Copies of this chain bind each other. A is one copy, B any other.
Amino acid sequence: MARINEHYSKLAAGYLFPEIGRRVRQFQQEHPQAQIKKLGIGNTTEALTPSILAGLHKSIDRLGDVSTYSGYGDEQGDHALREALKAFYQDTRSITIDADEFFISDGAKPDSGNIQSIFSSDAVIAIQDPAYPVYVDSNVIAGRTSGFDQASGEYRDFIYMPCNEENGFIPEVPQGHADLIYLCSPNNPTGAVASKEQLKAFVDYAREHRSVIIFDAAYAEYISDPSLPKSIYEIEGARECAIEINSFSKFAGFTGVRLGWSIVPRELTVEGAAPGEVHRLWFRRQCTFFNGASNIVQSGGIAALSQDGLKECYELIGYYMENARIIRSAAVALGLTVYGGDNAPYLWVKAPEGISSWEFFDRLLEQAHVVGTPGVGFGPAGEGYLRLSAFGHREDITAAVKSIQDHLSL
């Protein structure tokens, strides 16, 4: 008698996006003339750039010629792409990562979800609150919680690190002992970016507690302030205690194309394991459960990292960040308190006094016909906020902003 993995039943239903969809559909049915505008989705909207398109087409041509066709590649990725990433880290962050410390994947989401599987099932997890749901859900499924506590909105046994106005949405290090610490900077959903000092506190904590930091840097290229770190390896000692995850999704428009990477330094050590063993274990994990990212897509990644490719990608990022500025200035002019949006494509907008995330969502939808994302959907500390996204065509962003300016009454 086969049975299901009991831990799945502990997952609190992921009501956020289905509930947003339900409310939007209901509003549209009741107001069929309303033009609904979306500022809720973290999804790229602009075309792939010329260098990337050329790289992708060329790769397909190679697969169409028997003399250049290739089958299975290395599970850890194409050597040329790993070398290109090494050069990219050197050039943009002035840090040296060996090519074989990069593991190419089909995106930051799979890596974020899978990385916990190489650690023991009794590992204590610390997560930012609010946070990208995959960190939490993957650890629930792995059996690291005894269940969800409805009253607090938290899973038991997890350490929540609240992100709020007082700490500028960058949490303090965990109270008590954590084995795995998930950090995301620039942050989804708050748009906050950790300073070097703030990251150093986590690296110091991790070295003292022999914990591992899982650092999600998927929005790193949106950082324009040169004083802010784009990689946790800009912090001394991080190679001993941190795994970094990143992606071409928001950087090069690869949300649907699928390409990412993780970095597991050889120095990273954990209790009872020989040096290099975590690196070796992630390699073993990928060789068993993964068969490499698409060779076509990897060629696109190499093209994105070329000189012209990078220039085009940063232009694309500039386009989305101009959207962020447009949203931010309109929201501020209306008297709203807005965080994020300066080194990240997300704005974290405080609901007017006494209004919940969902009430603010409803008001924006009903008055301005604009869809945001209720902050509470990312964790209990997100209550009282709404996430607005800078991903969208300029004309859609300006239409949404105009509608907010003309119709939103606070």
Contact = CB atoms under 8 A, between A and B. Distances in A.
Interface string A49-70: 0100100110011011110011
A257 B8 CA distance: 32
A123 B3 contact: yes
Number of copies: 2
A47 B59 CA distance: 12
A292 interface: yes
B4 A273 contact: yes
A-side interface mostly: loop
Contact of A179 (B2, B180, B256): B2
A107 B270 CA distance: 32
B106 A294 contact: yes
Contacts of A110: 289-291
A291 B107 contact: yes
Given A8-B281, A63-B48, A393-B66, A119 B209 contact: no
B1 A294 contact: no
Contacts of A211: 1-2
Contacts of A138: 288-289
A118 interface: yes
A15 interface: no
A272 B209 CA distance: 41
Interface in A269-296: 270-273, 277-278, 281, 284-285, 288-296
Contacts of A143: 121
A352 to B, nearest CB: 31
Contact of A72 (B8, B73, B256, B290): B256
A143 B212 CA distance: 22
A214 to B, nearest CB: 10
Interface residues of A, number: 77
Contacts of A180: 2
A272 B4 CA distance: 8
B257 A294 contact: yes
A120 interface: yes
A43 interface: yes
Nearest to A60: B56
Interface in A1-24: 1-6, 8, 11
A84 interface: no
A141 interface: yes
B1 A113 contact: no
Contacts of A121: 5, 143
A85 B278 CA distance: 39
Nearest to A277: B4
A80 to B, nearest CB: 14
Interface in A134-149: 134, 137-138, 141, 143
Given A60-B53, A134-B288, A297-B296, A1 B271 contact: yes
A189 to B, nearest CB: 16
Interface string A17-46: 000000000000000000000000001111
B69 A291 contact: no
A255 interface: yes
Contacts of A72: 43, 255-256
A64 to B, nearest CB: 5
Contacts of A45: 66, 69, 71
Given A3-B273, A47-B63, A256-B295, 17 more contacts: A1-B209, A1-B211, A2-B179, A2-B180, A3-B272, A4-B118, A5-B117, A5-B121, A46-B69, A53-B61, A53-B64, A63-B253, A66-B393, A69-B253, A72-B255, A72-B256, A294-B296
16 contacts: A2-B123, A2-B211, A4-B272, A4-B277, A5-B119, A5-B120, A8-B118, A46-B69, A53-B60, A63-B256, A66-B393, A71-B256, A106-B290, A257-B296, A258-B292, A296-B297
